[in-house]
Amino acid sequence: MELFQFRHSAFCEKVRLVLAAKAVSYDVNEVVPGLGQWELFRLSGQRQVPLLRDGNELIADSSAIALYLEARFPEPALLPPDPAQRAQVLLLEDWADTALASGARMALLQGVAEDPLLRAALLPDATPAVLRNLVGAVPADLLGGVSQFLRPERQHLLAALEQLTSLLSVQPYLVGDRPSLADLAVAAQLYLLKFPAAAGLELAARGVAGIADQAQFEPLFAWRDGLYRTLQRPLQSSTGLG
Ligand SMILES: N[C@@H](CCC(=O)N[C@@H](CS)C(=O)NCC(=O)O)C(=O)O
């Protein structure tokens, strides 16, 4: 298996978490923004990461990849057999990939604009193009006025994080009594708000000011860190693409 990725993409982190949960080992192919994405396009007909290669199979999109891996490696199951729980997991996954992802990207943009230390820690690994991808197509000259621009979306994100924190203070997982795709999808987006140890020494425990350093969200990030500890990350090797 080979994962074409950007290291600091939350959607790539989601796939890495699914692979870890399934204890599947794989090669990492770090895609160079721009040129590398052309090669990706030649290979798969689309230019986004994550892209998973399994022999002759190429699967794009983190949700499609998760379903593919669930079918290929059924144990441990990340989708509950119970239809109602399964529906809840898939709805939460979709929410994490859309509303939460958008809020987290915007908050990271704001964090990076306001915090030179975070910017310095993120930049050695993430070229400006990757950073732009992480934070969406926001022109650089908007960075200065970013706080004003993002206020409603930020409030929305903070409210969602409060709900997640209170839900996970009364139950160990979002749905049912074992980790599911919902937990992994949410944890993957939290990556952008407070980097886990897996993000590397420079970034570990850094994150968006006003979120990563807030006592009220500590239990949420502690839950995320606990989830990472329960997933045994398989050994990875890098191949590097163009
Ligand atoms: N819905 C997709 C989203 C993937 C996505 O947004 N990938 C970004 C990186 S986080 C990307 O490849 N951006 C480069 C581009 O769009 O050219 C998924 O779940 O995998």
pLDDT digits (tens, 9 = 90+) for 78-104: 999 999 999 999 999 999 999 999 999
pLDDT of the residue at 137: 43
Per DSSP, helices labelled H in 22-80 are 35-44, 62-72
47 lines ligand 1 (CB under 6 A): yes
- Location of structure tokens 């310095």: 120
- Cα of 104 from ligand 1 centre, angstroms: 14
pLDDT of the residue at 120: 80
Measured from the Cβ of residue 46, the count of other Cβ atoms closer than 10 Å reads: 13
- The CA distance from 42 to 170, in Å, is 48
- Cα of 134 from ligand 1 centre, angstroms: 9
Q: What percent of the chain has pLDDT over 70?
A: 84
pLDDT of the residue at 65: 98
**pLDDT per residue as tens digits for the range 207-217:** 999 999 999 99
User: For a pocket test of ligand 1, which of 11, 43, 95 has the largest count of ligand atoms closer than 8 A to its C-beta?
Assistant: 11
Q: Which atom of ligand 1 is nearest to the CA of 49?
A: 12
**pLDDT per residue as tens digits for the range 35-70:** 899 999 999 999 999 999 999 999 999 999 999 999
Kindly state the tokens that stand for 119. Answer: 């910017």
Higher pLDDT, 241 or 79: 79
Q: Which amino acid is at 106?
A: M
**pLDDT per residue as tens digits for the range 105-147:** 999 988 888 888 888 888 766 666 666 566 544 444 455 555 5
User: For a pocket test of ligand 1, which of 7, 48, 122, 192 has the largest count of ligand atoms closer than 8 A to its C-beta?
Assistant: 48
5 lines ligand 1 (CB under 6 A): no
Domains of the chain (ranges plus CATH)? 2-77+233-238 (3.40.30.10), 83-230 (1.20.1050.10)
pLDDT of the residue at 129: 61
Closest CA to 196 of 32, 29, 15, 8: 8
pLDDT of the residue at 191: 96
